[in-house]
Amino acid sequence: MSTTGKVKGIISNLVIVEVDGAVSQNEICYIETAATKLMAEVIKIIGVNAYVQVFESTRGLTVGSKVEFAGHMLEVTLGPGLLSRNLDGLENDLDKMEGIFLKRGEYTFPLDENKLWDFKPLANVGDSVEAGSWLGEVDENFQAHKIMVPFVMDGSFTVKSVASAGQYKIYDTVAVIVDAQGKEISINMVQKWPVKKAIMCFNEKPRPFRLLETGVRIIDTMNPIVEGGTGFIPGPFGTGKTVLQHAISKQADANIVIMAACGERANEVVEIFVEFPELEDPHTGRKLMERTIIVANTSNMPVAAREASVYTAMTIAEYYRSMGLKVLLMADSTSRWAQALREMSNRLEELPGPDAFPMDLSAIIANFYSRAGFVNLNNGATGSITFIGTVSPAGGNLKEPVTESTKKVARCFYALEQSRADSKRYPAVNPIDSYSKYIEYSEFEEYISKRISPDWTAKVNEIKTLLQRGKEIQEQINILGDDSVPIDYHVTFWKSEVVDFIILQQDAFDKIDAVCSIERQQFMLNLIMGICRANYHFNNYTDVMDYFKRIINIGKQMNYSEFQSENFEKYIQQLNGMLAENQVQ
Amino acid sequence: MATKAFQKIYTQITQITKATCSLKAAGIGNEELATVNGKLAQVVKILGDEITLQVFEGTEGIPTNAEVIFLGKAPTLKVSEQLAGRFFNAFGDPIDGGPEIEGEEREIGGPSVNPVRRLQPSELIATGIAGIDLNNTLVSGQKIPFFADPDQPFNQVMANVALRAKADKIILGGMGLTNDDYLYFKNVFNNAGVLDRIVSFVNTTENPPVERLLIPDMVLTAAEYFAVDHNEKVLVLLTDMTLYADALSIVSNRMDQIPSKDSMPGSLYSDLAKIYEKAVQFPAGGSITIIAVTTLSGGDITNAVPDNTGYITEGQLFLRRDSDIGKVIVDPFRSLSRLKQLVIGKKTREDHPQVMNAAVRLYADAANAKTKLENGFDLTNYDERTLSFAKDYSENILAIDVNIGTEEMLNDTWKLFARYFKVEEVNIKQELVDKYWNQ
């Protein structure tokens, strides 16, 4: 007999329920209204009073309404068929909902119960298996979707039977396993998992090392992120957070991309709905939507479900990682999630921390980022979740609690800067303040020297020093004037501008420039290094400016041309000609 | 609101604050409306049998034995074609002396559009103002505010935009509008002969501030009626959202909530998003476009209201007086329309994106040259050319009194490029230069 209760108080979406039995923290319950049932989660218990946050509007709810407790925490359903779906923060399939407007209390199943899947067995009778072991696989959008021993299973089991290759529905039994006591358990393709708990069915989590190619030069070349790495993009509004995030999600070399649109604009999600089914994955040539799952809780959808949405997305990511896949998870924006926590903490009348955020905000963020990572699975395969979150700092001030808490845990920092955005230098990632900790990892150094070249990180560091120097000189010129600094200074400054315009800046809306392969990045960096290492002779500083502006113009035309095409080679010729003009040995 | 039979009447108020009063009652729904001695109020908190009501007009003069009547419903608006051409207060009652509206009664603050049912906005809204059409193109289904100091002519520019945009209905939500501005809008719409396309919900500074909280929901309920039921293109004007946010902070303060930044409630982002996200392109052809005004204090956009607004809206428009030409322009640096990518170079000529960016970049170079000049440094020949370009660009293209088509804006900008610069200084794709440089 499950616990029931009655509504005793209502303060916006916080409802106080008097219960008649045991309830647990974070347990799910349903509140009955005249027309429908509203889903809610227990967030505090005092005596017989359970405080629950309702995932919907509480308009019209009355005291005395019946409440039924579900006996479990907020769970998601995991199984083949999640790819290409548009889900809400509670994993309801948005496409299955009827009508133009969202109806309160409408919950839809995220999978297709009748679809037939081509199953191939992987385990053999007699195999010893545990939670997360692969029993078989089905083909989901041309990727091998592993059917696993459910993550909730404890201990080790023996495979008694596995279904033969053929077509099955998700609830058909595809294997039977036996526990130590001889009890038989039937396994189908569907399992459930509470979103707030990490799926830990892997052997170890080593330091990540393999470059995740995103095709964005300022990331791959300057501040690389790795498979299983974490990064965050803080930036005031209008600096291009979402454009950068979309670029990464379109181009990154990942098997699965999960986009958690958390408390952001609905039209941005619509952009994904429209573009992804059309665009091609540059690595496989298949449609982007085939590898993508969208978890959308836009800013006008219920606030409490906003918090759930990031956990739902992370849990789905962990599920696919357990199949040995490379998963990229993007959350836009984690600040909105933190604000949802703040609203609820406020209603619970908790003592506030900085900026009225809950005191444990830092711990919550750290805990969430730690769920990403590169793992060695128990069967020797590897999988990864690369997590990139955006942060929307209030007033563009990076000293606010969400940015500071995130900075402590995320290893890549891509600081978007208002002044760069104002002068249309996109992506507006500040090249000097941003960093990637992975570039210091010896594991990464070893990998990249094989993938690109042994002197790669040395070159990148040289370029970074040049950018730093260029910025210092620019400040001096601003104070002293063009005339009062040596011509050499102008040359160094303009070399840093060449790097800025040709390497750092990238046109996300140009078909060719948007994606830059790692080979092309290597070529361009070497080319620019050549220009920057050379010595030049000039008579006055205006000549310096004119000369390098012409170089920049050619470089830009190169970025707009197909790599190694006839045009591209033509521009290299032009460039070489120009270099010969003013260069001195 | 008239009393109906069988409504329970309570006469024992247990607690009164400046904005709320509490009493014991049973069977009351959350967010239900009530009247307290005839003043409209809404349920904001229920604890056991104790109900807390927010009284919109304020609680001045309410006695403990006031007559409280629960109406059994959330706030509603009667919708029909009769709304067109009429002026209403925050409760949806006519203030123009005309008859009551007959029509279907709809709850305001209704549910959100399912994101998968939205269409991607793709229809350009032309205004003839280059600072908008050329640099920050508006698209139907977009939401965008003017960020402006109180002394700037935002209401005039907004009225202008509204009249030039080809909308089927224009719905004005005035919050804390001065009586003068209210009459200004009334006159402008009247003189343009478009009154039959306009619906207005107005809360002036003479009305209690808390009433403003109802205005956006009233406006958007009417907008949804025309956009969904009649597939019309609706343009919503909301002025001034900062005064709306002030009302939110008054209420949250009186409800003892812990304030976050700038004494605004912690839920400010969600509260504003609920309004702005009503902007949508419906699949059947109707659309709601929202143009709002957020007044700033001394141009400070880090204040919680403009800051949260900027994260919600699809861009923002800044007005600025250009001292070189003595006219108001739409600031090309700080203004942004996020949806312009959906139409520029697609619905407009192919060179639009690059011309726009190049002009703004050169305009930025002019700003740097100006700083140099002010600091007493010598200008290079290039600096001087950028300054002349900037003045020409500002005077003949950006100024808000210039009213020309987008193609003309592009042609004029190319002419300015050619007049002041060499091809390699403009940084535009070669194929476009070949086509348009010497046209």
pLDDT (tens digit per residue) in B204-233: 999 988 899 999 999 999 999 999 999 999
| pLDDT tens digits, one per residue of A529-562 | 999 999 999 999 989 999 999 999 999 999 999 9
Minimum distance, in Å, between the CA of residue A273 and any CA atom of chain B: 7
Interface of B with A in 34-73 (CB under 8 A): 44-49
Chain B contact present for A61, CB below 8 A: yes
The predicted model gives A163-173 an average pLDDT of: 97
Q: Flag whether B56 is in a domain.
A: yes
Same domain, B92 and B219: yes
CA-based torsion, A452, A453, A459, A461: positive or negative: positive
The predicted model gives B5-19 an average pLDDT of: 83
For residues A401 and A361, give the distance between their C-alpha atoms in angstroms, rounded to a whole number. Answer: 8
Q: Flag whether B2 is in a domain.
A: no
Confidence of residue B429 (pLDDT cuts 50, 70, 90): confident
- Asked whether B218 and B64 are in contact (CB, 8 A), the reply is no
Please say if the pLDDT value at position B2 is more than 60. Answer: no
For residues A576 and B33, give the distance between their C-alpha atoms in angstroms, rounded to a whole number. Answer: 77
Percent share of chain B, pLDDT over 90: 72
- Output the six-digit token pair for B260: 């976050």
Domain of B330: which CATH number?
3.40.50.12240
Confidence of residue B1 (pLDDT cuts 50, 70, 90): very low
| pLDDT tens digits, one per residue of B336-391 | 899 998 999 999 999 999 999 899 989 989 998 998 899 888 888 999 999 999 99
The predicted model gives A146-150 an average pLDDT of: 97
pLDDT of the residue at B6: 56
- Output the six-digit token pair for A540: 């006055």
Please say if the pLDDT value at position A298 is more than 50. Answer: yes
Chain B contact present for A265, CB below 8 A: yes
Closest Cβ opposite residue B361 in set A274, A339, A424: A424
The DSSP 8-state label assigned to residue A197 in this structure reads S
Same domain, B34 and B145: no
Please say if the pLDDT value at position B427 is more than 60. Answer: yes
Amino acid (one-letter) located at B223: A
Superfamily name and number for A217-451: P-loop containing nucleotide triphosphate hydrolases (3.40.50.300)
Please say if the pLDDT value at position B243 is more than 90. Answer: yes
Boundary (domain end) residue, out of B277, B311, B338: B338
CB contact under 8 A, B429 and A560: yes
Q: Flag whether B398 is in a domain.
A: yes
- Asked whether A406 and A365 are in contact (CB, 8 A), the reply is yes
Chain A contact present for B278, CB below 8 A: yes
This prediction's pTM: 0.92
Please say if the pLDDT value at position A439 is more than 80. Answer: yes
Determine how β-strand A230-234 pairs with β-strand A382-391: parallel
Q: Flag whether B346 is in a domain.
A: no
Looking at the structure of chain B, the number of domains it has is 3
CB contact under 8 A, B26 and A481: no
Q: Flag whether B343 is in a domain.
A: no
Minimum distance, in Å, between the CA of residue A13 and any CA atom of chain B: 10
The size of chain A, in residues, is 585
Domain boundaries along the sequence of chain A:
4-73, 117-189, 217-451, 456-584
The predicted model gives B162-174 an average pLDDT of: 92
Q: Flag whether B170 is in a domain.
A: yes
For residues B239 and B291, give the distance between their C-alpha atoms in angstroms, rounded to a whole number. Answer: 9
Chain B contact present for A278, CB below 8 A: no
- Output the six-digit token pair for A40: 């809610």
pLDDT of the residue at A211: 97
Write the ipTM: 0.89
Percent share of chain A, pLDDT over 90: 83
- Beta-carbon neighbour count of residue A125 at 10 Å? 12
Closest Cβ opposite residue A102 in set B111, B121, B382: B111
Please say if the pLDDT value at position B138 is more than 80. Answer: yes
Please say if the pLDDT value at position A70 is more than 50. Answer: yes
Please say if the pLDDT value at position A1 is more than 80. Answer: no
**In the CATH scheme, what is the code of domain A4-73?**
2.40.10.170
pLDDT of the residue at B376: 85
Q: Give chain B positions within 8 Å (CB) of A10.
A: 30, 45-46
CB contact under 8 A, A339 and B266: yes
Architecture of the domain defined by A117-189 = Beta Barrel (2.40)
**A427 preceded by a cis bond (ω within 30 of 0):** yes
- Output the six-digit token pair for B46: 């229920």
Q: Give chain B positions within 8 Å (CB) of A12.
A: 44
Q: Flag whether B127 is in a domain.
A: yes
| pLDDT tens digits, one per residue of A569-580 | 999 999 999 888
The predicted model gives B159-185 an average pLDDT of: 92
Same fold, A217-451 and A456-584: no
Architecture of the domain defined by A456-584 = Orthogonal Bundle (1.10)
- Residue B357's domain spans which residues? 352-436
pLDDT of the residue at B3: 47
Minimum distance, in Å, between the CA of residue A237 and any CA atom of chain B: 5
Please say if the pLDDT value at position A498 is more than 60. Answer: yes
Interface contacts (A, B; CB < 8 Å): 198
Please say if the pLDDT value at position A221 is more than 70. Answer: yes
- Asked whether B372 and B386 are in contact (CB, 8 A), the reply is no
Same domain, B169 and B297: yes
Determine how β-strand B315-322 pairs with β-strand B336-337: antiparallel
